[in-house]
Amino acid sequence: MLALCVWWIHCLIAFSRGLATTEPTTPSSPAEKVNDYSKIESKFALRTPEVPDDDTCYLVPGQAETISHCNFNHTSKTFVVIHGWTVTGMYESWVPKLVDALYKREPDSNVVVVDWLSRAHQHYLVSAEYTQLVGKDVATFIDWLEEELNYPVDKMHLLGYSLGAHAAGIAGSLTKKKINRITGLDPAGPTFEYADATTRLSPDDANFVDVLHTYTRGSPDRSIGIQQPVGHVDIYPNGGNFQPGCNLGDALLLIAERGLGDVDQLVKCSHERSILLFIDSLLYDEKQSMTYRCSSKEAFEKGLCLSCRKNRCNTLGYKVNKVRSKRSTKMYLKTRAQMPYKVFHYQVKVHLFDRQKWTMKNQPFLVSLYGTKDESENIAITLPEVSTNMTYSFLICTEVDVGELLMLKVSWEKDSYFSWSDWWTTYAFEIRKIRVKSGERQKKIVLCPKDGTHSHLKRGKGPVLFVKCFDHTQSKSHDGLQNNQMVETKLEN
């Protein structure tokens, strides 16, 4: 089991022991000579669509001829990709994947990969310190392009992963003119969580800073990815802690199938998901994931945050709507475990009537949605508690676009625990209406029992069907949902 943890345990153990005895040289005086390119250690490889996986041509600050030699396109936008800490001293496999996806989406662009591998191949704490120098190198590089070519920095988009995200932030804070955009891909947590904004990625570093947080497990000082929001828009897919398809069970299954070669990959699975989500946004233009502003992960899980009013929702990744509010905006979404990651989000709200008063914990339900385009059956949901005459709101997701919702089927499963009371009691409650709100379609619909006005959902018995209510005046009737409506509005604000 320990072998699994090579990558991050390695870094965290070292971190907690405080082994940082070898201090790297810190940047010298900020008012350094502008055109001194001699101190630059990072290399800037302009990759090509033909050879996305190798550094074939370097843009060298101070050497203008390298610009034409590498076929840098003056009129196109430029992506600058900055890698993170490396165990092997080599580029990780995601680098060519991201380069390739960027060129697929923007064939005329310049994709520059920053090589700071030698500094990234150190003790984690040393490499973390080096991000300041790397950022400085990148800033010098950008200023050089700007001075040499009059290259507009509003065509500059930096993409930094892990430690690279902070290097991008430092770069953005040092360029003479503010760059257009920085995308932070799961910015590193250790030593940065409580660091001053000037030494890490922050919203001041570019006109627009968007951040994906995908591996923020554990206490803040132990988390691989930074937990606090550090951009204008901070997205926490699946809550941000860790990602579907990345848990230990999946990992062991994969090891059984493919052998130990992929262990490193599995340990970093959630961390690297940030990159894959961005690649997904580049490649699947017609399947853009939506994100929703929410005060907390818990409120999102209840389906309370699917509103798009006043920029409350946005698109994940490349086509993000560049909304800048004064404070960082925390956004949430669910995803699939594989690419394309997009899912469709629904809030389901239901009031459970019964004459008798009772409460049950952790009750499993199956919900099926049928729409004009498709259907999604047996979506499992567990309600932490069900209680008489209470309204419940929860989030369900479908992988397919069902279109306009026409019908909903729900059944109440028996949990696995045997209970004597099951012998003589059939738990059931009455449902008069089910309200469903679609995040992607921004539509609300009220569903009524297919057979008659009342319907009884019995535990461990067959499903109950709900269809679009005919009489819409009824939908505002006395069904106990009004109070909940108010709670929702409150939570959204």
Ligand X SMILES: *[C@@H]1O[C@H](CO)[C@@H](O)[C@H](O)[C@H]1NC(C)=O
Would you name the residues annotated as active-site residues?
162, 186, 271
Please, which residue, 37 or 353, has the CB nearer to ligand X? 353
Residue of 33, 327, 355, 472 interacting with ligand X (CB under 6 A): 355
In angstroms, give the least distance from the CB of 156 to ligand X: 14
**Per CB under 6 A, which region of 23-31, 308-316, 348-356, 467-475 contacts ligand X?**
348-356
Determine the length of the chain.
Answer: 493
Pairing type for strands 313-315 and 290-293 reads antiparallel
* Closest among 75, 69, 76 to 44, alpha carbons compared: 69
- As a whole number of angstroms, the distance between CA 130 and CA 120 comes to 8
Please, which residue, 394 or 429, has the CB nearer to ligand X? 429
- As a whole number of angstroms, the distance between CA 18 and CA 131 comes to 18
Q: Which of residues 236-275 bind ligand X (CB under 6 A)?
A: none
Q: Check residue 359 for interaction with ligand X (CB under 6 A).
A: no
205 is in an annotated binding site: yes
**Per CB under 6 A, which region of 71-79, 110-118, 124-132, 441-449 contacts ligand X?**
71-79
Residue of 76, 382, 477, 482 interacting with ligand X (CB under 6 A): 76
* Closest among 68, 59, 67 to 37, alpha carbons compared: 59
Q: Are 289 and 236 in contact (CB under 8 A)?
A: no
Query: Got the DSSP string for 304-358?
Result: TT---GGG-EEE-STT------SS-EEEEE---SSSS---EEEEEEEEEB-SS--
Residue of 388, 391, 474, 475 interacting with ligand X (CB under 6 A): 388
In angstroms, give the least distance from the CB of 136 to ligand X: 29
**Per CB under 6 A, which region of 28-36, 69-77, 450-458, 465-473 contacts ligand X?**
69-77
Compute φ and ψ for 168, nearest 5 degrees. -60, -40
Q: What amino acid is encoded at 301 in this protein? A: E
First to last CA, the chain: 44
Please, which residue, 88 or 356, has the CB nearer to ligand X? 356
In angstroms, give the least distance from the CB of 76 to ligand X: 4
In DSSP terms, 392 is beta-bridged to: 350
In angstroms, give the least distance from the CB of 388 to ligand X: 5
Residue-wise over 452-468: b if at least 16 C-beta within 10 A, else e? eeebebebeeeebbbee
What are the residue ranges of helices labelled H in 261-314? 263-267, 269-283, 297-301
Q: Check residue 389 for interaction with ligand X (CB under 6 A).
A: yes
Residue of 309, 327, 357, 472 interacting with ligand X (CB under 6 A): 357
- Give the number of residues in contact with ligand X, rule: CB under 6 A: 10
Please, which residue, 75 or 416, has the CB nearer to ligand X? 75
Residue-wise over 151-176: b if at least 16 C-beta within 10 A, else e? bbbebbbbbbbbbbbbbbbbbbbbbe
200 is in an annotated binding site: yes
Pairing type for strands 434-438 and 455-458 reads unpaired
In angstroms, give the least distance from the CB of 358 to ligand X: 8
Q: Check residue 75 for interaction with ligand X (CB under 6 A).
A: yes
The torsion angle over the Cα atoms of residues 51, 53, 54 and 60, rounded to 10 degrees, is 90
In angstroms, give the least distance from the CB of 68 to ligand X: 10
Please, which residue, 55 or 479, has the CB nearer to ligand X? 479
Tokens 């070519």 found at? 149
**Per CB under 6 A, which region of 68-76, 243-251, 252-260, 408-416 contacts ligand X?**
68-76
In angstroms, give the least distance from the CB of 458 to ligand X: 17
Please, which residue, 165 or 434, has the CB nearer to ligand X? 434
- As a whole number of angstroms, the distance between CA 235 and CA 227 comes to 11
Q: Which of residues 104-143 bind ligand X (CB under 6 A)?
A: 108
Structure tokens at 159: 């993409």
Q: Check residue 36 for interaction with ligand X (CB under 6 A).
A: no
**Per CB under 6 A, which region of 56-64, 155-163, 254-262, 354-362 contacts ligand X?**
354-362
Residue numbering of the annotated binding site for Ca(2+): 200, 205
Give the residues lining the site for ligand X (CB under 6 A): 73, 75-76, 108, 353, 355-357, 388-389
